[in-house]
Amino acid sequence: MSLSSYTLRYYDHEGLMPFVHRNKAGRREFSEHDLDFIDLITCLKGTGMQLSEIRKFVEMSMAGDETLADRLAIFKAQQEAVHDQMAQLQKHLDKLNFKVRYFEAACDAGTEDAVIANCDIPNSPITIDDSKRVKPNKVS
């Protein structure tokens, strides 16, 4: 884990690190448990969880075992949200992969006019109409 001092101060200011102790000089002293918890906070933030939800989770954690079921519910909800994000990202990747194949064909033909493709079906074949080709066909 590598967080900037700015990020740590921000997390602290947002109430995400009430568990971190300070020494007599007011400096934060992190235990191994604190670092693991901050790593979890960073993970949750990386999944798109709002700071208010993370703060709620931290508060529940500080409250102890009586919040176990509620914390589990938070993780299950975030797990579902991440699955949804991954499905959406896969659709975007499929579209990008199609467009890469499309433009490779267009570059090969020297024009988009020669490309025959159905962008509504990302895995569909892409062909070149040789009669519309600007560049000569490559010989394999």
Query: Do residues 74 and 94 touch, judged by C-beta distance below 8 A?
Result: no
State mean pLDDT over 97-124.
92
State mean pLDDT over 54-58.
95
* Reduced DSSP (H G I as helix, E B as strand, rest coil) percent helix, strand, coil of the chain, to 5: 65, 5, 30
Give the H/E segment covering residue 140.
Answer: none
87 pLDDT higher than 90: yes
Tell me what pLDDT residue 64 has.
95
State mean pLDDT over 27-55.
93
The whole model's pTM is what?
Answer: 0.77
Query: Do residues 130 and 137 touch, judged by C-beta distance below 8 A?
Result: yes
Give the H/E segment covering residue 1.
Answer: none
Tell me what pLDDT residue 119 has.
84
- Alpha-carbon distances, residue 82 vs 53, 66, 74, 96 (angstroms): 15, 26, 12, 21
The residue behind tokens 């433009």 is 103
Per-residue confidence band for 96, with pLDDT thresholds at 50, 70 and 90? very high
